[in-house]
Each structure stands twice: as structure tokens, then as C-alpha cells.
Structure 1
Amino acid sequence: MALAKPSVGLLYNPAVPAVLDAAGTLVDHIEVIPDRLWYDFGTGAEHRFSHAHTAIAELGRFAGRHAMIGHGIGLSLPSAMPIDEDLLAEVAASHRHFGYRWYSEHLSMFLAPGGSVPNAQAGMGLPVVHDAELLEIVGRKVELLQATLGVPIALENGTIFSAVPNPEMSEPEFMNRLHERTGCKMLLDLHNLYANMRNLNWSPAEYLGALDPEIVIEVHVAGGDPLRGHYTDSHSRRSPAVIWDWLEEWGPRFPNLAAITFEYHESYHKRIGLAGVVAELEKMHAAAEAISGAPQPTPAFA
């Protein structure tokens, strides 16, 4: 039996409307970061959230023509503190407005308690310790997200610049066990894996081979830049060629893969260019067609 064709889409940013107006027929879905649709003045503010009504209206122009997926950055599920219920309520309101097919967050820590600041922003995704304690913390929050939003939840593998030594379990094992406990899916960011290969000498074949293929619901592709001896997930270029090789090899092994999404930051739109974004979309469509035409592999994961 052949696999279903994954949808092809873009992570939404202020430059994407120009792409959608010029080449919207190549875009099946739009992935939305709801945190970018409001200004958050912090937990102590009298009026905490100020909504970006112009941005919401602009996004709404495309919501009827494209499927919508939610991709959050603010809930920081691995943080050892209660989930921010006010922020979760804003995410839920965004979901009611746009109707996300599923909702993803990151398996990275963005919030850390710091003195009198109850939820200090780290400024970047920090690595986490993959152990039983974290599995319990993340598992409870995933279950709360599932109950609140009523759609599948996925977690994205992160970019790591400094590995945690001697983890209790690998990242793929953690993702597998989280899925066993909660049904949580995985957003497999191939560019993050590429960055970890370059920075930490990770083996992509070992990483992907250790994943339960059933859990992967979405794939991200992107490009980045080196900076001071590290390779960054800056979303600043087209995807490296090896990422397409991985997608060709591994995509047909993920029977529940439903979407492929290209990420780029609006500040690099001029560098990549409309033609570059269109070329990425065309390559994603070719990959999706190849995946849908491939015979479903016999499950080998146990």
C-alpha cells in the first residue's frame, strides 16, 4: 500500500504573504507561531497580552485557502515550573480562530526561574536532560495540552550547542517513550539534526534508526550559517543538499508523515529571494510525490 502524500508548506512570517500572493498554489499549509500574533508584557502586567490585529488580519486572508498548523515557542514544556495557564489560554484562542490540524512545541527549555523573575526568557532553546524526571514533567504538560486543544500534539527536536554528558536516555528514546506514555507525535527537524551532526558529530543514521517511525507527523527543512565555530539554525538559507537526501531515504519509512515545512526568517527573505523559496517548495513537492509513490515498508521497529 502506498503512503499518503504529505502536504507542503511554509512557516509563516511577515514576508510569506508576498510568496503566497505570487505562488500560493504551491503551498498546501501554513504553519503559524501564535506567539508572534501578540505582545506579551509579562505575568505581572495588568493587561498582559496586546494582540497584533493587523498581522492577524493579514494571516486571515490565507486561512480559508490553506490548512493551518500551530507551532509554539513560548510554553517551554521541559521547564520545571507549572505551565503558563494564561499563555495556554491565548494559544487555545488562536487555535479556535484558525483551526490548527495539530500543535507543536519544542523539546528545549526557553524559560528558567531566575530570582524574582518567575519566567525568565533564556533567549534561545537550552538543552535538557533526557531522564525519567523530565519524561514525567513533559508528559503531564503534553496531556494538558492535548486536553485543552483537542488536537494531536508534537514535539520538535532541538539544536544543541553543548551536549548534556551521560544522559539517562538518548533523544530518540525519550521521544519514543513520551509517545508510548501520551501518544505525543514528533516534529522531526532535519536541519536541527544537521546542525547537531556538524556541532556534536551526531550520526543521523543512528538517530533516525532509533526513532519509532510511527511517531513522525511532520518534517522541517531549513538552512543556516556558521558562527564563531558553530553551525547555527538561523533559518537564513535554502536547505543543504544532504537534507533532501535524508528526506528521500527516510521519508517513506515514516507512515504517518503528513507535512513538510520550509522555515526561513523574514530578515533573510532578500537573500533567499522569491525564486529561492519557490525552488524549496518545488523540491518539497517532488519529495512528497516520491514519498507517496513509495511502497509502505514492513515495520521493523520494536
Structure 2
Amino acid sequence: MASAKPSVGLLYNPAVPAVLDAAGTLVDHVEVIPDRLWYDFGTGAEHRFSHAHAAIAQLGRYAERHAVIGHGIGLSLPSAMPIDEELLDEVAASHRHFGYRWYSEHLSMFLAPGGAVPNAQAGMGLPVVHDAELLEIVGRKVELLQAVLGVPVALENGTIFSAVPSPEMSEPEFMNRLHAQTGCKMLLDLHNLYANMRNLNWSAPAYLDALDPEIVIEVHIAGGDKLRGHYTDSHSRRSPAVVWDWLAEWGPCFPNLSAITFEYHESYHKRIGAAGVIAELEKMQEVADDIASGREVGAELA
């Protein structure tokens, strides 16, 4: 079981340092997208990676007093091509530098072969087909990632803008089977689930009922906007009320839940405001306390 109280934190971006300075002990961890710590000039480049040294040094100062979690966007584990070993080496180096508690990627495709380009960027997370073939592809890469990093690996459920008809298995079933096969954890993004509920008429209770609660190691919350009738996971607002309701109801059901993270994009910092982010953190700490109290009661009754 996880420690009694899940840690509370923020997805790190260039606007977050000011929040961290103001939030004090409200923030237990920062979650880092390592792909934002370098410029990638692509496979075949003579000097492929150029590191953002100032950003790395700034993050390092906050890592001295906050736990750090890695959250990647570039390895594109569901893509059919082999894993990008040069990029994997960079991810591993960032882990050696910051000491990630665990590392997560997305159950979405960000790379696809495109003519002469072996790993063309899709520009967004493409939906995947949940079937046995994908399970094998992702499973092999998860096992490699776990072996290289030596820490738990988790996959995040994504927003699906175009539903895949007649899948072989549901997303919760896929996650459950991947965990049984590899030990892979899940980063449950409740805002992504909310977006899929609004856009695809998914049933959140049915989704969560089908999910093995043991596999959830982290929860993301966020807010979004409507765009031409489609609800987006834009990380542009505070978390909707229903997302908070789900976190309060379902958070205590996940015995291994170890972190709750609020995501927002730096371009929306002025809209949300430091006070808005701090209000999210305060509410997250309250929910984390409730989860800890529930666990303590459960331990006494066991």
C-alpha cells in the first residue's frame, strides 16, 4: 500500500516557480516533462539534443526540496516502430539527474512513420486500438523502460477525439491486462476521463468500476475549454466540479494512490492566476488528508 497520504503537486512549467515560491508546504512534488528540458533536432542530426541548461538549473533548485516525478511525452509507446533508444538514453539521464519516483508516458500515439521520416510527429496524441497486438507492442516497451530506469512505469489514459469502433477490449481492460503482464501502473487522468464523458458519452462510473483499483499510482486533475463544440483537455482552467467529486469519491478506493497532480499550461497562467493554482493545491491537500484518514481507519479495522 502507498504511504498514508498521497503527495500533492504540480506539473512543472515555466510559470510554476513563482507558484512554488508562494505556495510553500502546499506542494509536495513537482512533475517534470523531461522532453521540455532539451531541443531535439531529430534522428540523424549530428548533434541531436541541445539541453536547456538554465531551465535544468532552475528546476534543480526546486528538486532539492520537492520530490520529482517524470512524465514523458516523446517515447510514444503505442507506436509500431521500435522505441527511440537515443531519446530513451536522454530520459534515463534526466532520471539519474533528478531521481524520479516513477515515470509515466501516455497510452496515445505521438509518432507515426511518414514516408522518408521514420518518426514523424503527429502533433497530438492519436487514439489507439485496444487489442492483443497493441498489448504486445506496449508491453515490450514498458518492460524495456522499467529495466532501463529501475523505477515503476505508469501509462496515462488519454483524451480520445475520434472513437475507435468495436475495440477488442475496453481501455480499463487493456490497462488491467497490461498491469498483469508487466506490472505497469496507471496514471489516471480524471480530466481526460471527463473530456471523454462529454465528447463520447462515456460512463465514468462504468469506467472506474471496470478498472483494477490496485494499478492506480497517480491521479491528474485539470480544466479545459470547448472548441467548436468539442471539449478539449487544454489545461486552461481550474478543475471542474465533477472532477473534484470523482477524486473525493474514488481517490480512497485506490490503495496505491501516491500522488495527485494539477496540470495547467503556462500560457493560461494569467487566466488561472497564482491564487487560483494555490486554491487548487489547498483543495488537493484536503482531499489527500481525507484519503489518509480513510486509510488509517481501514488499517485499524484490518
TM-score range, shorter chain: over 0.9
Output the CA distance in 1 between the equivalents of 2:284 and 2:113. 40
What value does the CA root-mean-square deviation take over the aligned residues? 1.3
Q: 1:36 — aligned with what?
A: 36
Q: How does 1:58-137 map to 2 (within 5 A)?
A: 58-137=58-137
C-alpha distance in 2, partners of 1:172/1:5?
25
CA distance in 2 between counterparts of 1:3 and 1:68 reads: 16
Measured after TM superposition, the shift of residue 3 of structure 1 is: 7.0
1:221 alignment partner in structure 2: 221
State how far apart, in whole Å, the 2-side matches of 1:225 and 1:2 are. 33
Cα distance change of structure 1 residues 205 and 97 upon mapping to structure 2, 3 Å threshold:
same
The 1-side partners of 2:79 and 2:109 are apart by 6
Counterpart of 2:266 in structure 1 is 266
Contact map agreement 1:252 1:297 (CA 8 A) in 2: no
Q: Displaced runs of 4+ in structure 1, greater than 6 A?
A: none
Contact 2:2 2:257 in 1 (8 A): no
User: Helix, strand or coil: the match of 1:56?
Assistant: helix
Report how far residue 2 of structure 1 moved.
10
SS in 1 for 2:292: helix
3-state SS, counterpart of residue 136 of structure 2: helix
Deviation at 1:24, TM superposition (A): 2.8
Go from structure 1 to structure 2 and tell me whether the alpha carbon gap of 1:169 and 1:297 turns closer, same or farther (over 3 Å shift): farther
In structure 2, what residue type is equivalent to 1:231?
Y
Q: CA deviation at 1:297?
A: 6.9
Q: Deviations over 1:162-183 (max 9, x none)?
A: 1100000000000000000000
Q: Aligned ranges for residues 75-224 of structure 1 at < 5 Å? A: 75-224=75-224
**Matched residues, number:** 298
Q: Which amino acid aligns with 1:67?
A: A
Correspondence for 2:253: 253
Change (3 A) 1:122 1:2: closer
| 1:165-208 deviation line (CA, Å, top 9, x unaligned) | 00000000000000000000000000000000000000000000
Would the aligned equivalents of 1:77 and 1:83 in 2 still touch at CA under 8 Å?
yes
Cα distance in 2, alignment partners of residues 222 and 7 from structure 1: 16
Partner of 2:280: 280
Is this contact kept in 2: 1:108–1:127, CA < 8 A? yes
Change (3 A) 1:52 1:18: same
Is the 2:222–2:235 contact (alpha carbons within 8 Å) kept by the matching residues of 1?
A: yes
SS at match of 2:158: coil
Shift of 1:22: 1.2
Query: How high is the TM-score relative to the length of structure 2?
Result: 0.97
Letter in 1 for 2:57: A
Partner deviation per Cα, 1:2-55 (whole Å, 9 max, x = no partner): 971100000000000001111131100000000000000000110000000010
Aligned to 1:53: 53
Distance 1:46 1:2 in 2: 44
8 Å CA contact 1:253, 1:297 repeated in 2:
no
Which residue identity lines up with residue 193 of structure 1 in the other structure? L
- Give the gaps of 5 or more residues in structure 1: none
Secondary structure, aligned partner of 1:125: strand
State how far apart, in whole Å, the 1-side matches of 2:19 and 2:251 are. Answer: 26
Residue type of the alignment partner of 2:287: A
Contact between 2:30 and 2:68, CA under 8 Å: does it hold in 1?
A: yes
Q: C-alpha separation between the residues in 2 aligned to 1:76 and 1:56?
A: 23
SS of 1:294's partner is: helix
CA deviation string 1:104-143 (max 9, x = no partner):
0000000000000000000000000000000000000000
Q: Distance in 1 between matches of 2:226 and 2:139?
A: 34
* Distance (whole Å) between structure 2 residues aligned to residue 228 and residue 79 of structure 1: 29
